[in-house]
Amino acid sequence: MKATIDRSDCTSCGTCWETCPTFFEENPDDHLSQVIEKFRLNGNCAEGSVPDELEACVTDAADLCPVSIITVE
Ligand code: SF4
Mean pLDDT by 10-residue block, N- to C-terminus, for the chain (73 residues)? 98 98 98 98 97 98 98 97
Q: Determine how many CB atoms are found less than 10 A away from the CB of residue 36.
A: 15
Q: How many CA atoms lie within 13 A of 38 on its CB side?
A: 4
> Using a 6 Å cutoff on CB, does residue 49 contact ligand 1?
no
pLDDT at 13: 98
> Using a 6 Å cutoff on CB, does residue 16 contact ligand 1?
yes
pLDDT at 10: 98
pLDDT at 38: 97
> Using a 6 Å cutoff on CB, does residue 68 contact ligand 1?
no
CATH of the domain spanning 2-72: 3.30.70.20
Cα–Cα dist 21/15, whole Å: 10
| 26 Cα–ligand 1 center, Å | 9
Residue nearest to atom 1 of ligand 1 (CA): 65
